Each structure stands twice: as C-alpha cells, then as structure tokens.
Amino acid sequence: MNAPLRDPHPARPIPVLRPATLGDLDALVALEHAAFATDRAERRAIRHAIRSGTMDVVVALIEGDLLVGAAVLERRRASRIARLASIAVDPNRGGLGLGGRLLDAAEETARSQGCERLRLEVRADNGAGIRLYERRGYTRFAVRPDYYEDGMEAWRYERLLQEPATEGRP
C-alpha cells in the first residue's frame, strides 16, 4: 500500500508542485510570456497574487528548480466558489501532464480553503484545455463573447469539488 509512486513514463520528469514565492517572480513572468501571446498577467499582478491572502499560485518545477508551469487560484472571503484564473505551461514542456497536475493542485487548494466549486474561463479555440476540463468533469455553463484581448469568446466551466476527479470520470 505504501509503495512509492512510479511514473508510467520513466523518461518524463515528475514535477514538484509547491506554492510560489517571490523568488519565483522572474520565472513566472517569463512563463507568462512563453505561454500566452495575449492577455498576459503583468509582473505587478503576479507579485500581488503571490502575496495575496485570497489567491494561491502553485508552481510546477522539474530538474530541481526549473519552473515549467503555474496555476493561479482566486477566492472571495465569503464565497464557497473558487476561480481558476490561469494555468500556464511552458510550451516546450507539453505532453508531461503538467496541465492536469496543476489542475489537481488547484482543486485540492480550493477544497482545503472550504470551497465547494471551481469555476474557470477558457478560450473557445483552446481545444486541449477544453478537453482537459471536460475529461475532469467540468460542465460548460456560460459563454462570454469578446472576453479576450483579441475578441475571442470565453467558455465558462464549473465543477463540484466534493471529491478529487479521476480521468474520464465526472
């Protein structure tokens, strides 16, 4: 029962997930620029998220200290609904399952803060993101036209956080 977890793909590094610190700020800004062509968070906003009592920034590291992904979670003090503001993965590190691992971490963080639901927006043209969220049991509940800087609409998704999701099971 207590056997160590083994990666089914031994050549793939297993990321370490942890809360972001101000020491990660430069790497988070660089990740934001690598991962997103538009709608990037500014340095000041990332610094605020790291310091905030109602936001959490989770980073994914491989090879010791190489930051390759991040998730930003927002909460309101009186609400049981958390919002996944962003998942960013280094485009050179696709296929490592980082998006799913960051989503798991965001869900666990939201649950630990007493949240019952997690909501998010995703670009309507982000097929990989949409597939990930739908596989994990997220349900689309709204569309926001002209949401992103370039005019793309956002699809809004939500999931109950009663128990951890498993791939292919809502």
In the chain, which residue ranges form alpha helices assigned H by DSSP? Answer: 25-35, 43-51, 98-112, 127-135
Average pLDDT on 12-33 reads 92
Residue 63: the pLDDT is: 84
Residue 127 sits at the vertex; the CA angle it makes with 141 and 115, to the nearest 5 degrees, is: 40
- Tokens 């609904």, residue? 81
- 73 in Cβ contact with 109 (< 8 Å): yes
pLDDT on residue 164: 54
CA distance readout (Å), 88 to 5, 81, 109, 148, 162: 25, 21, 17, 16, 25
55 contacts 87 by C-beta, under 8 angstroms:
no
Mean pLDDT over 102-116 rounds to 95
- Nearest of 143, 66, 136, 79 to residue 107 by alpha carbon: 136
pLDDT in tens, 53-81: 999 999 999 888 899 999 999 998 889 99
Lowest mean pLDDT among 18-22, 36-40, 93-97, 133-137: 93-97
User: Tokens 């998220």 correspond to what residue?
Assistant: 49
* 3-state SS, one letter per residue, for 144-167: ECCCCCCCCCEEEEEEECCCCCEC
CA 137/CA 169 separation, integer angstroms: 6
When comparing pLDDT for 64 and 164, which is higher? Answer: 64
Mean pLDDT of the chain: 88
From 35, 52, 124, 127, select the one nearest 86 (Cα to Cα).
Answer: 35
pLDDT tens digits for range 10-22: 466 788 999 999 9
